[in-house]
Amino acid sequence: MDSLLEQIERGTLWQFPGGVHPPQQKSLSNQQPIARLPLPDKLVLPLKQHIGANGQLLVNVGDKVLKGQALTKPTANWSLPVHAPTSGEVIEIKPMPSAHPSALPELSIVMTPDGNDTWCELSPVSDLNKLDHKTLIDLLHNAGIAGMGGAGFPTYVKADSHQPIEFLVVNGVECEPYITADDLLMREHAQEIVQGIEVMQQLLKPQRVLIGIEDNKPEAIAAMKRASAHNTAILVRAIPTKYPSGGEKQLIRVLTSKEVPSTGIPADIGVLVQNVGTLFAISEAIYKGKPLIERVVSVTGNTIGKPQNVWALIGTEIKHLLDCQGFTPVLEQRVVMGGPMMGFTLPTVRIPVIKTTNCILAPDNQELAEPGDEKACIRCSACADACPQSLLPQQLQWFAKSKDYDKLEAYNLFDCIECGACSYVCPSEIPLVQYYRVAKAEIREQKLDQIKAERAKERFEARKERLEREQQERQNRHKRSTSRSAKPDAEKAKVADALARVKQKQGDKSAVQAAIERAKAKKAADGSLEPDNSEVALERALRKEQARLYKEQKTSEDAPLAENAKEDSGKKDAVTAAIARAKAKKAAQQGEQENGQPQPQASEPETKKSDDDPRKAAVAAAIARAKAKKAAQQGEQENEQPQPPASEPETKKSDDDPRKAAVAAAIARAKAKKAAQQGEQENEQPQQPASESETPTSDDDDPRKAAVAAAIARAKAKKAAKQAEQENEQPQTSTSESETQKPDDDDPRKAAVAAAIARAKAKKAAKQAEQENEQPQQEQSVQDAGSTDATPQTPEQKRQAAIKAAVAKAKAKKQAKEQEGNDPS
């Protein structure tokens, strides 16, 4: 059995189902050659003249354009540019009626020709073999070529097929009545059509090129055979005249016996179909560089005075074509764009010619009668018999009227090629094709809405997912931040615990240090430790120096006020000195009374109170007794004597042991010497007693008070020295005499104790006088007791202090010598 290719080469043809045989009426327009019309007054160029998206405007109102200049550029898939059909000026860019049964307005460029018909610069190709695949595709794309057989599919998309093409089918059938545009084009431009075929051969590499022409066009068949004789891959086939054999799927079935699957395209079975008008435009674009700006249009009908095919510029109004061909309208005249089977009646003749316009039919009433009223379907099945796609037009019409779109798709509504054969044979004059067209448009709109809804849903879900993801991310960030913050808190807690422990240790150390300081202070109070207060003394000296400078400045500013206050201050100082002298005298009298009585009866002065102040005398007596006891203990420690302190029981045993009396006298002399040394130290530092922790601050503020206090201290020291001399003179009497006169005088130790008590009382009285006169402002620590705050601030005060110290030293030496001379040993 022969293969398919062998059968095709042998000339075998196949039949398609259905089809009709309407009157041809081609002789009206195929007797004259193709005519060229004069330039119209204006051109209306819709931006969309094909299947696909609009191009982007490149011109504005008022721009001058040249013939062949691009007015738009492609911006999306299946988008083609529009070119200027002639030179002229762009006068408007606005919506204009479209080439559609509804004549809905579409954005269009309106231009007026200038009459010069000046071409823009063209770029023809001399050698096709020098161009690669992509360059050829770009040339076809930029030329704006679309399918000129009726569908308007972009040619560059078909030419760039990614599927292998076995057969390239050239459609020259032109089966619809009245249309002869392709017939005349093949007769006059067969050579250019073959050139276009060769371009497609280079792009698609098909095994065979099959040219199908109906057998009612013998001249066109002959012309194509002559033009393609040199190319053995091109086969010209004359097929039987039958409508709609010019349909894409029907022609493929007739020439190759292949059937395009439902909802499929010819490329799915390795076949690609091109119209002869499209191939002519490809040849013009490649070999002459001309874009698609004109095409052949059949202007025919009984109302046309000169029916023939014309070269019509794209954008020319239908009225211009009719006027040029002698159109004579009749009553209820109709003008149809396309043929009587697939064309549509125009609502106005101001519709422009577009790239898919192949015929303008203006029949009279007898030639193409007005359809009558629609009648009920009689179920004759004539429509089903005539359908070339083997569909069920009756059922499709029912579903279309009831808008059952699911049933329409189930019955393959979109396989309908809208050939009109069913309507042509319907005895009830039902416009079946119109039902199908409306149903297709509604289904497309519904699908478009569904696609929009799905996209909106996808966007909503994507947005919802994005918001949830962002919320989750925020929660995760919050959790991470919380965990990170929790860790530092734990670490901070650990650090705080460590610091607390350190501080506790430091507190313990501070407590220990405080205890050590208290111990040192206690030792310093006992006189066993002399703290180093040199730094503190230096700081205090600096503060005092600053205070002195500030006081001098203040004194210079307040000199007038100081003169007025000087008299009052002197009076106050005199009163204070008198009071101090009276107190010292009273203390001395109390000391004399206590020295004249034995130690065991020391409590008697408490009952014998002074006439001046009984309470102060009692306090002074108690202090004197305590100081005497302390002085006795210190004396024993310094002399390193193992004997117990001189107590009352020891004094009772002195009558039996004269040697103890001598020892006691030696102790008394040592104590007297010690008291003299203490008095000397007190005289050297009259402003700061070593045994007290109070440091007077009033001396620094008032030099006159310091002078008064120094005078009082000198008087008290002199008084104490006299009392010591008197006490030392009393034991010089013979022991026997004292023993015979008084029982208490028999023991020299009592005399020594009494002398020590007297000295302590005198010292106490002097201290009290100093405290009362100086009125200290604050208490100082034991460490401050050895500071040099009491140092005189002026040279005069320093000189007086030096004199006082010298006098005190001399008196102490004299007293010591007297005590040595009175030593009974």
Per-residue model confidence as pLDDT tens digits over 339-391 = 999 998 999 999 999 999 999 999 998 888 777 889 999 999 999 999 999 99
Residues 237, 134 share a domain: yes
Of residues 483 and 439, more confidently modeled: 439
Residue that finishes a domain, picked among 443, 466, 486: 486
Most confident of 67-81, 474-488, 581-595, 660-674: 67-81
Query: Per the structure block, which two tokens stand in for 142?
Result: 């930029």
The number of beta carbons lying within 10 Å of the beta carbon of residue 713 is: 25
* Burial of 454 (C-beta count, 10 Å sphere; 0-12/13-18/19+): exposed
**Span 704-739, pLDDT tens digits:** 665 666 667 677 767 766 766 665 554 443 333 333
Phi and psi, residue 605, nearest 5°: -60, -20
- Is it the case that residue 784 has pLDDT exceeding 50? no
Residue 46 lies in a domain: no
Residue type, 267: A
Domain containing residue 156: CATH number: 3.40.50.11540
Please tell me the predicted confidence (pLDDT) of residue 385.
94
User: At which of 289, 304, 333 does a domain end?
Assistant: 289
Does 324 show up as a binding residue in the annotation? no
Question: Which residues on neighbouring strands pair with residue 171, listed in sequence order?
Answer: 212, 275
Phi, psi (deg, nearest 5) at residue 419? -70, -25
Spatial separation of the C-alpha atoms in residues 17 and 585, rounded to whole Å: 161
* Domain identity same for 592 and 697: yes
Give the pLDDT confidence score for residue 544 in this predicted structure.
Answer: 83
- The answer to whether 377 is a known ligand-binding residue is yes
pLDDT at 538: 72
383 marked among binding-site residues: yes
Are residue 479 and residue 587 in the same domain, yes or no? no
Q: Which residues are registered as beta bridge partners of 45? A: 109
pLDDT single digits (tens) 322-331:
999 999 998 8
Of residues 62, 110, 70, 66, the one with CA closest to residue 86: 66
Residues 137, 241: one domain?
yes
pLDDT band at 311 (very low <50, low <70, confident <90, very high): very high
Average pLDDT of the chain is: 78
Are residues 708 and 816 both part of a single domain?
yes
Is 419 annotated as a binding-site member?
A: yes
Domain boundary (289, 315, 350) is at 289
User: Counting runs of H as helices and runs of E as strands, what totals does the chain give?
Assistant: 24, 16
Q: What is the pLDDT of residue 45?
A: 95
Q: Is the pLDDT of residue 254 over 50?
A: yes
> Domain check: are 284 and 378 in the same one?
no
How far apart are the C-alpha atoms of 650 and 655, rounded to whole Å? 10
Q: In the numeric block, which tokens belong to residue 616?
A: 């102060």
Q: What's the pLDDT at 703?
A: 52
382 shares a domain with 285: no
Domain range for residue 480?
Answer: 371-486
Helices 276-283 & 181-188, crossing angle to 10 degrees?
40
Specify if 363 maps to a domain.
Answer: no
DSSP state of 154: B
Instruction: Give the per-residue pLDDT at 285.
Output: 95
In a domain, 514, yes or no: no
- Read off the pTM: 0.59
Tell me, yes or no, whether 274 and 395 share the same domain: no
Number of domains in the chain: 3
Residue 246 counted as domain residue: yes
pLDDT of residue 807: 75
Q: Residue 565: CB partners within 8 Å, gap ≥ 6? A: none
pLDDT tens profile 368-382:
877 788 999 999 999
Helix (H) or strand (E) holding 73: strand 72-73
**Helix (H) or strand (E) run with residue 105 in it:** strand 105-113
Residue 747 domain-assigned (yes or no): yes
> The domain that contains 389 carries what CATH number?
1.10.1060
Q: Is 452 contained in some domain?
A: yes
Q: Are residues 475 and 618 in the same domain?
A: no
Answer yes or no: is 118 within a domain. Answer: no
Q: Is residue 394 part of a domain?
A: yes
Closest CA to 177 of 421, 488, 441: 421
Looking at the fold, whether 647 and 749 belong to one and the same domain comes out as yes
- 255, 381: one domain: no
* CA-to-CA dists, residue 33 to 171, 303, 310, 434, 544, angstroms: 21, 20, 8, 35, 134
Measure the CA–CA gap between 176 and 341, rounded to whole angstroms.
7
- What number is the average pLDDT over the span 66-75? 93
120 belongs to an annotated ligand binding site = no
Other beta carbons less than 10 A from residue 638's beta carbon: 13
pLDDT of residue 751: 58
Q: Which of 47, 318, 333, 28 is nearest to 179 (CA)?
A: 28
